[in-house]
Amino acid sequence: MIDAARDLIGASERIVAFSGAGLSAESGVPTFRDAETQGFWTNYDAAKLATPEGFANDPELVYKWYTDRRRNMAAVQPNPAHLSLARRRDIVNVTQNIDDLLHRAGAVRIIQLHGTLMTDRCLAECGYEEPVEMADPPGLRACPQCGALLRPAVVWFGEPLPFNAWREAEDLCASCDLMLVIGTAAEVYPAAGLIGLAKRAGAKIIVINPNPSQASALADIELVGKAGALMPDLMAV
Ligand code: BJW
Ligand code: ZN
């Protein structure tokens, strides 16, 4: 199976790597659905924390969730899957991940559909944003420009995806000839819809995941296993 996948990669000219939380799992970043099983957070529903309503109800609590995740992010490193993707400078990474592990691995083409944890921005959208020190994140605080609260520059449920990132991702996925779908449950839209978009446009789909996912039905080849273990072998020329 991996040989057939490697041949397909060799024969493809426009490759998109569409990734999710599983790509960073072996670095020690809990997947989104695992995040609520960690320590203090076992009693919380991540899908409720990651909403504008969750933040409005209890900004301190939601901000603390991100502070914990930021500290963890500062302590982890890119894994072999990030490094294999980064080595292929022609591959475009369309990722749902809010971490910076692809950047730190040296990848040059990265589109982040769900924003970034590296920055805070104004809740009232006055345009203010500031980078955050991940190892020593600041507390909840007001926007120096307008006085509203600052929030992480991520995309919560119910919010639109960043316009330019989304438009670029749609164009790339509609014109790629191969999509690698790495470590995503493919349950969150509109991002998950990019897999079907690529498939309908004629691209081959290779899914890399230790578990079945919503992408399984669209896969031409499904590689069952962890990204960090499979990707170096898959990308070897
Ligand atoms: C491994 C591995 C290893 C493990 N190697 N693999 C009904 C139908 C359709 C849509 C909707 C609906 N009801 C509501 C919606 C909309 C909603 C949505 O899709 N909800 C679904 C839950 C149904 N979507 C939205 O709200 C989006 N916005 C929107 O629709 O806007 C419309 C709008 C337009 C105009 C104006 C206003 C609004 C926004 C979605 C934003 C998602 N944000 C999050 C949080 C980011 C910040 C944070 O992290 O705190 O993004 S949610 C979360 O899910 C995060 C992720 O990027 C995203 C995807 O998760 P992912 O990556 O798939 O992770 P997991 O954990 O689910 O899966 C991990 C996978 O890895 C598993 O498969 C494992 O097996 C695998 N794995 N180890 C390889 N080692
Ligand atoms: Zn502001």
Report cis status (omega within 30 of 0) of the bond before 210. Answer: no
Residue 229: its H or E element: helix 227-235
Contact 85, 102 (CB under 8 A): yes
β-sheet with 129-131: strand ranges across: 129-131, 115-122, 150-154
Using a cut of 0.75, tell me whether the model's pTM lies above it. yes
**Any ligand 1 atom below 6 A from CB of 32:** yes
**Any ligand 1 atom below 6 A from CB of 189:** yes
pLDDT reading at 237 higher than 80: no
Q: What is the pLDDT averaged over residues 231-236?
A: 95
**Any ligand 1 atom below 6 A from CB of 159:** yes
| R_g of the chain computed on alpha carbons | 18
Q: What is the pLDDT averaged over residues 14-42?
A: 89
pLDDT reading at 23 higher than 80: yes
Q: What is the pLDDT averaged over residues 169-184?
A: 98
Q: Whose CA is nearest to atom 75 of ligand 1?
A: 211
Only one residue has tokens 């692809």, namely 102
The predicted pLDDT at position 40 comes to 73
Only one residue has tokens 């901000």, namely 63
Percent of the chain with pLDDT over 90: 93
| Cα separation, 193 vs 149, whole angstroms | 32
Distance from the alpha carbon of residue 184 to the mean position of ligand 1, in angstroms: 8
Q: What is the pLDDT of residues 34-67, one digit of tens each?
A: 777 776 788 899 999 999 999 999 999 999 999 9
pLDDT reading at 80 higher than 70: yes
pLDDT reading at 180 higher than 80: yes
pLDDT reading at 235 higher than 90: yes
Q: Whose CA is nearest to atom 72 of ligand 1?
A: 185
Q: What is the pLDDT averaged over residues 139-156?
A: 98
The residue type found at 147 is G
Q: What is the pLDDT averaged over residues 69-94?
A: 97
Q: What is the pLDDT averaged over residues 19-41?
A: 87
The predicted pLDDT at position 134 comes to 97
**Which among 46-50, 109-113, 233-237 has the top mean pLDDT?**
109-113
Q: What is the pLDDT averaged over residues 196-203?
A: 98
82 assigned to active site: no
